[in-house]
């Protein structure tokens, strides 16, 4: 099947009380690995790329590769642009075939965030592309977006309701205590806040910073109302470590078709584990019915 918008996937996840894994990929093998994980577990899937990866590979290469994966696959797949503050890059990705985009104006004032999000929603609505926005500020490092602890800010539930009303955005990433990158200790997640936001906002909510959240906390986030979980850092580490291991064992190896194989397998295994935590096994059928 062709790539689908993430909106119906996430709405179905929200009403079904589970989460969909959204995985950042940077190479063809990473993309194939998460697709194989989705296929094997019959999970709906969101493939993501950051702006850095869009610049590295080209949005058309990424969109075409995701399209081929989707056409060969029996599960619904959306292609999402992660954290983008540049309207032109967003439009470039939509034109290339992305079915979901994030406008991240969380570093701006509430009113500017509303205005920028609205502009993207209007353009995206014309072609059925999902738009995600962020309220509050998720801490940590994602690509070249760096938010230190001092500037991280939790989202206010009433602001979330107002923001959704004013922008018509399809999915919302409220900052609730998770952070991008690897946690130093346990994440300090405000589960009550997730519940409050979910009670005021009917659109699907997005959990950022999915790397390293303990199993029990992921489950509580999903139970409290999160419908999409973004995972980047952990997958990159697993993939790179597997390649390092090959070179440790055999420093003479020089065939990417060989050293990418264990990396792909390791990433697939890690993605399957995240899908299990999300509760998305077998849920592809929800969307296909
Ligand atoms: P991690 O890198 O912590 O997994 O966060 C991913 C993310 O939220 C991407 O938007």
Mean pLDDT of 2-22: 97
Residue 210 lies in a domain: yes
Percent of the chain with pLDDT over 70: 99
Instruction: For residue 46, give the CATH number of its domain.
Output: 3.20.20.70
Ligand 1 contacts (CB < 6 A) are 24, 82-83, 142, 180-181, 208-211, 230-234
Q: Which residues, at least 6 apart from 61, have a Cβ–Cβ distance to it below 8 Å?
A: none
Q: Which residues sit opposite 2 in a β-bridge?
A: none
What residue's CA is closest to ligand 1, atom 5? 209
Residue 254 lies in a domain: yes
Residue 137 lies in a domain: yes
What is the per-residue pLDDT across 246-259, written as a single tens digit (0 to 9) for each?
999 999 999 999 99
Residue 149 lies in a domain: yes
pLDDT of the residue at 138: 83
Residue 1 lies in a domain: no
Residue 184: other Cβ atoms inside 10 A: 8
Q: Which atom of ligand 1 is nearest to the CA of 180?
A: 3
Whose tokens are 């009403």? That residue is 15
The answer on pLDDT for 68 being more than 80 is yes
pLDDT of the residue at 288: 76
Q: How many domains does the chain have?
A: 1
Catalytic: which of 60, 82, 86, 104? Answer: 82
Domain containing 145 equals: 6-288
What residue's CA is closest to ligand 1, atom 1? 209
Q: How far is CA 69 from CA 3, 4, 134, 153, 168, in A?
A: 9, 12, 28, 37, 30
- CA torsion 53-57-58-59 (nearest 10°) is -50
Residue 274 lies in a domain: yes
The answer on pLDDT for 14 being more than 70 is yes
- Confirm whether 111 is a catalytic residue: no
Residue 244 lies in a domain: yes
The answer on pLDDT for 146 being more than 90 is no
When comparing pLDDT for 188 and 78, which is higher? Answer: 78
Strands 130-135 and 100-103, by their bridges, are: parallel
| DSSP-derived 3-state class of residue 144 | coil
Residue 248 lies in a domain: yes
């Amino acid at each position: 099947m062709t790539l689908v918008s993430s909106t119906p996937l996430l709405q179905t996840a929200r009403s079904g009380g589970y989460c969909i894994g959204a995985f950042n990929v940077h190479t063809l093998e990473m993309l194939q690995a998460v697709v194989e994980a989705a296929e094997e577990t019959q999970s709906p899937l969101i493939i993501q790329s950051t702006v850095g990866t869009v610049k590295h590979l080209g949005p058309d290469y990424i969109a075409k590769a995701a399209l081929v994966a989707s056409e060969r696959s029996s599960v619904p797949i959306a292609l999402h642009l992660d954290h983008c503050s540049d309207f032109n890059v967003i439009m470039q990705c939509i034109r290339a075939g992305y079915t979901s985009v994030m406008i991240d104006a969380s570093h701006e004032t509430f009113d500017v965030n509303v205005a920028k999000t609205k502009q993207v929603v209007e353009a995206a609505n014309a072609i059925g592309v999902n738009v995600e926005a962020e309220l509050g500020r998720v801490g940590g490092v994602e690509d070249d977006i760096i938010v230190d602890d001092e500037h991280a800010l939790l989202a206010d539930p009433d602001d979330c309701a107002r923001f959704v009303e004013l922008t018509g955005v399809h999915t919302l990433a409220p900052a609730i205590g998770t952070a991008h990158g690897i946690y130093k200790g346990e994440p300090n997640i405000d589960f009550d806040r997730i519940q409050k936001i979910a009670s005021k906002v009917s659109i699907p909510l997005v959990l950022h910073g999915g790397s390293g959240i303990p199993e029990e906390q992921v489950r509580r986030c999903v139970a409290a109302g999160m419908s999409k979980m973004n995972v980047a850092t952990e997958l990159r580490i697993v993939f790179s470590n597997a390649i390092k291991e090959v070179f440790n064992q055999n420093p003479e190896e020089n065939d990417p078709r060989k050293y990418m194989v264990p990396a792909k397998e390791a990433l697939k295994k890690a993605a399957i584990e995240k899908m299990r935590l999300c509760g998305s096994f077998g849920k592809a059928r929800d969307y296909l019915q």
